[in-house]
Amino acid sequence: MKPQLKSLAAPTKRVLNTHANAVLARAGHSEWMVQHAKRELWWWLRARAQAAVRRRRLLQGRGIVWTGAGRTELLALEVPTAGPGEVTVEISHTCVSPGTERAQFLALPNAKVKFPYRPGYSSSGTVIARGSDVHHVGLGDHVAVIGGSHSSLTTVSADRVLRVPHGVELELAAMITLGVIAQQGIRAAEVRPGDSVCVLGAGIVGSLAQRLATEAGAASVVVVARSRRHEALARASGATEFICLDDGDQPEARSARVTIDATGDPEAVHQAAAVTADGGRIVVLGSPRGVTTAFPLQEVRRRGLSVVGAHIATLRSEHELTGENAFAREGNGFLDRVAQDPAFYRRLLSDAIDPRDAAVFYRDLARGRVRGVVTVDWNRLPQSQRAGSARLMRLPDIRARGLDSERPLDVVDTEGAEVLAGGSSGRRTGSELRIALLGCGDIGIHNAAAVAAAPNARLVCCYDPITPLADDLARRYEADAVSDVEQLLDRADVDAVFLAVPHHLHQPLAEAAAAAGKHLIVEKPPANSLAGAKAIVDAAERAGVALTVCFPHRYDTHIQQARRLIDEGALGDFRGALIQLFIDKPPSYWWGGFSGRALSSWRSSRADAGGGILIMNLSHYIDLVRFLVGVEPATITSAAGFEEGMEVEESISVTVQYQNGGVGSFVSSSAMPGIYRESSFRLWGTDGTLELEPSARAYSIRRVAGLPASRWQQIGGPGHVGGRAAFITRFAQAIAEGSPPDIGPHDALAAQAFVEAAYRSLEEGHGVSPASLLTEALTRE
């Protein structure tokens, strides 16, 4: 480029870059995701430019892309069809190079890549296009491709495409590059008939090298590995000795004329030097991931050892030096060996994965959980995704890349909502649950409305010591207002009693209702103490009536959807819950609730309410975490703040250690100035995260329940199902069917034990086990 043009290029690039950043930011991309979006836009532009310049069609397939550190996605990729000297292949299988790809994924030394990055370099498939000057393969031929990332389509230089011999499966042919690596390593080792060879490492490259050394006529091949995992395979392929370092064994010193280091461990050269005979060769076949801190220079010199680098890239140098296609030479040699003994090479393969499960696979690979050689089976993708014509004018989908939780994809799956819709939209039938409402204050209004909305329940009568409140609800829902509790309980047309009264009244009224043979619906919390809750459970059991606690948020659409996702594995193993709830409750709240409908100071009384915002509001979340992830707390530790003159806490922080090792943090205040109501509810696990408040969205590396892997997606469906009405509907349904209610005595006690443990921790200054409290309560007569 001429100097003048060069001087213009930099500022122009800067201006374009700034402009692109601004446009993408306006489109909602967070700062760090702008870079990724630009890279994909660049791919999009380059693919079109290449197609235009070469006058080629543009094809679209799918490819595995690491969109960021530790993030894997399956994205649409576009490639031009083959031009002169090129071949386009529809890929059948790509082979994962476990050492290299793990090192790249973990960004180990000498393996750092820039994101987004397309991993992979070994594949096989069928020729679908070729340049006019390409004759060694034809359309429809099965070929192995040295190179090409993990994608369903590739257009590559023809000299890297080799015809697969008859009888060799494409899955085996996909190991081509690994085979070439091993072959060039053996060539660098100069193994001669009768040689003594030692192979350090029994991974895929080590196994292949060992096999090839045996075939080259080595008299002895000693395999040295950390574990005995691959011993059987090593012996089957001709190892004369297998040394397991973890067992404390060591190979005989200076016994090998040739040592092949296939470990990738930069310090393995010491072991290699120790085992190699004077004047022998050490072949560095595995790529060392780091610096050898004290290279044995004097030992190499004194003993006349040779340390030989054997990377596949050296074949390119050889090609340049000699003019021979060294890749083809080694590749064809490998394919011929596979054709002679496919059973051996099949033993090397451990698994084939669906490309859509790539995120889980790479996570497992990073954690060292992948054994053997894994191929990606592109045949499992729908054909429409594997290979098709790209639409030139369609813009790339650069929305909502893995990390970009600010821009989740729209809801595409509403099945979760249907679980509820089936219940709450049921037609009214003759078997209605007839419910009496005890307590017509703030929450009573919502409960009366929920009963009225339930298709299989009916509000029969209401009671409140403040008669106008009962009259009000009775009038609204065509029910009777009764003047005392006894009268309500005596009525034969009442099947169940809904208690929406101050917490300290739950126990006596529930006991009375149960004794009268009425089923019990208790507003949360079950009681003002664990003893009270236990008494209610006992009363229901004695009377043989059903008991449920009103935790209606379980039935909210997004919670149902979340539960379904969790059940299908979106979270993996539960690791944590974060709940934050902040409200600025006005002073009047403590005398009449939010509405001032019924004046009473019970909410500020420790004895009556049982506590402050924890028992009053956080108890919903306590139940939701249990409902969603099904784990119980092991220890609860809490700290709280109290306003002067108040008996109940104003602010509280509760730290939970769950029994499965997960953690929980519940932080809340009822006096955060300027906040009407703000909440955050988040659950995370080994495989995903669910954010349920303030918005509902999910991210999982697993492909579950219609949730695309590694993408944030909104959940919950467009319509909101009233949780309280659904709660009543489900309870009425359970009574009609004679089945236990969704939320039963155990749930009541578990939530109450959590609350009790948190308050006990405040008093005692240490962690408290709710399970112990529960056991104590259950065994106390």
Residues contributing to the site for other proteins (CB under 8 A): 109-110, 188, 266, 269, 284, 287-295, 297-311, 313-314, 317-318, 321
Strands 306-309 and 276-284: what pairing?
parallel
Question: Please, what is the minimum distance in Å from the beta carbon of residue 302 to other proteins?
Answer: 6
The residues, any chain, with a CB within 8 Å of residue 269's CB and separated by 6 or more, are: 261, 282, 284, 288, 292, 295, 296, 307
Give the whole-angstrom CA distance, residue 451 versus residue 432: 11
Complex with other proteins: residue 46 or 112, whichever CB lies closer: 112
Q: Cβ closer to other proteins: 320 or 410?
A: 320
Taking alpha carbons only, the member of 523, 521, 559 closest to residue 416 is 559
Helix (H, G, I), strand (E, B) or coil at 436: strand
Assigned token pair, 566: 């969790």
* In the complex, least distance from residue 195 CB atom to other proteins, rounded to whole angstroms: 18
Closer residue to other proteins (CB): 149 or 263: 263
CA 347 to chain centre: 31
Backbone angles phi, psi at 157, to 5 degrees: -60, 135
- 108 versus 353: smaller Cβ distance to other proteins: 108
Q: From start to end of 621-662, where are the E strands?
A: 633-641, 651-658
Q: What is the closest distance, in whole angstroms, from the C-beta atom of residue 275 to other proteins in the complex?
A: 16
Rounded to whole angstroms, the Cα distance separating 435 from 483 reads 16
* Whole-number Å distance between alpha carbons of 354 and 695: 31
CA atoms within 13 Å, Cβ hemisphere of 581:
21
CB 327, min distance to other proteins, A: 14
Q: How far is the CB of 295 from other proteins (least distance, A)?
A: 4
CB 225 to other proteins: min, Å:
20
Of 311, 354, 352, 364, nearest in space to 106 by CA: 364
Task: For the chain, report the end-to-end CA distance as a whole number of angstroms.
Answer: 92
CB nearer to other proteins: give 318 or 691: 318
Residue type for 139, please? Answer: L
Q: Are 180 and 335 in contact (CB under 8 A)?
A: no
Question: If you write DSSP's letter for every residue of 453-467 in order, what string do you get?
Answer: H-TTEEEEEEE-SSH
Helix (H, G, I), strand (E, B) or coil at 339: helix
Measured from the CB atom, the residue of 167 and 309 that comes closer to other proteins is 309
Smaller CB separation from other proteins, 98 or 526? 98
User: Looking at beta carbons only, is 321 or 395 nearer to other proteins?
Assistant: 321
Between 310 and 750, whose beta carbon lies closer to other proteins? 310
Kindly tell me which of 115 and 295 has the beta carbon lying closer to other proteins. Answer: 295
Helix H or strand E encompassing 87: strand 86-95
Nearest distance from C-beta of residue 321 to other proteins, angstroms: 7
Q: Please state the closest distance from residue 111 (CB atom) to other proteins, in A.
A: 9
Residue 281 Cβ vs other proteins, minimum distance, rounded to whole Å: 9
Chain centroid offset of residue 136 CA? 45
- Which residue number, 271 or 638, has a Cβ lying nearer to other proteins? 271
Shortest approach of other proteins to residue 261 CB, angstroms?
Answer: 9
Other C-beta atoms lying within 10 Å of the C-beta of residue 333: 16
Is the bond preceding residue 109 a cis peptide, omega within 30 degrees? no
**DSSP bridge partners of 161:** 145
Report the b/e string of 71-108 with b at 16+ CB within 10 A. Answer: bbbbbbbbbbbbbeebbbbbbbbbbbbbbbbbbbbeeb
Report the nearest approach of other proteins to the CB of residue 746 (Å): 59
